[in-house]
Amino acid sequence: MPDAPPPLQAPAAGAVPYGLAMQLRAFDPSQAAEPLPPVSPEEWEAAARAALADGPFHYVAGGAGGDATVRANRDAFARRRLVPRMLRDVSRRDLSVELLGARLPAPVLLAPIGVLGILHADAEAAPARAAAAEGVPFVCSTVSSIPMERVAEAMEAVRPGAPRWFQLYPARRRDVMASLLARAERAGYGAVVVTLDTTMLGWREADLRHRYLPFVRGEGLANYFGDPAFRASLAAPPEQDPRAAVQAFLGTYVHPGFSWDDLAFMRASTQLPLLLKGILHPDDARRALDAGADGVVVSNHGGRQVDGAVAALDALPRVADAVAGRAPVLMDSGVRRGADVLKALALGARAVLYGRPYAHALAAGGEAGVRHALRCLLADLDLTMGLCGCASTGEVDAGMLA
């Protein structure tokens, strides 16, 4: 994997802008002998398919039921059309955004994806380091393959203070949720993303077909197995009786009874900002903010939970209108290219969460693959934004869309 350009930043006067730098390196004759890594999400997906067995690949790539929602997410982006504006000075471009009081170099975060150890031996540490190198937040999943503390250490080794968030799946046991939140605070995570749409696992035909659920194999349980509150409830430590520990996890992990009362408990259990992920209806967005949420993430879990659900991008404008600037609105589900990021921003998102493409890059190329995929996305965003006549993300609005 050849080295990429320097980390993303606003170009200095006379400097080659980020997107152009990526192009020049690809077209540089002196680099012709170097194999060019994949530059598109489709190439990374094909490379991941070649690298992975059926179970792990389809666990990441698949959706609920007949994948109707997966397709709807992409169709929603395809229906929107950008309207480039001409004769605007875009010689200097600024991709940065302010989010929860911090200035980020781009409106992109690496989405929480669990059980990354099924894709690559470095698991979450690899994408976390790649994100830290670019200054992009990494959102660590509750069901990570390595503990959240080790993920934080990996990021700190690359960039002290590297931005990171923790994603929390609501659990049946409040003591375990409180313990996970406290650990996230101690490990330097800057926000908590509470996933609302996975109180039960969706009907995923590919996983059923391949008889594959990593949790029953003890994979993705590092945060639980190392948690003092969870361990205290076990008759024997997970190291001594892993089967019993897995059963205890399965009895705690899904929580169909999760309600606004549980959210109030979470709000009282941490000083960190809380963002609620899985919001698709404007009434839920309003109630989330009234309940103390600091932001919402418009998401249908990448199409993995409800077959035939509304596309996240289609839901975004109504949610953004309901929030009315009271808190940041983020979105995920279907983001693949720079144009997708621009469309999401134009429809009201402050930033997007980038998911499956980086997981595929991890499977096929490890840390270097994730970093290259992320840099390609940011270079694409940089060029597309400039070609549409915007010098900064602050200039992106609904008028850019046909």
Query: The tokens of 82 are what?
Result: 């950008």
37 within 8 A of 357, measured Cβ to Cβ: no
Specify the DSSP element, H or E, that contains 331.
strand 329-331
CA dist., res. 277 & res. 387, Å (int): 32
Pairing of strands 295-298, 329-331: parallel
Q: Where are the alpha helices (DSSP H) in 80-173?
A: 125-134, 148-158
Residue 349, C-beta contacts closer than 8 angstroms, at least 6 positions apart: 107, 298, 316, 320, 329, 330, 331
b/e code 334-349 from CB counts within 10 Å (16+ = b): bbbbbbbbbbbbbbbb
Query: The tokens of 314 are what?
Result: 């289609």
Q: Write the DSSP symbol of residue 94.
A: B
For residue 401, the cross-strand partners are 82
Among 120, 301, 360, 372, the one annotated catalytic: 301
Query: The tokens of 354 are what?
Result: 């980038």
CA dist., res. 28 & res. 84, Å (int): 28
146 within 8 A of 118, measured Cβ to Cβ: no
Q: Write the DSSP symbol of residue 117.
A: G
Pairing of strands 164-168, 192-195: parallel
Other Cβ atoms closer than 10 A to 385: 27
CA dist., res. 72 & res. 312, Å (int): 9
CA dist., res. 166 & res. 181, Å (int): 8
| 255 classed as catalytic | no
What is the set of active-site residues?
301
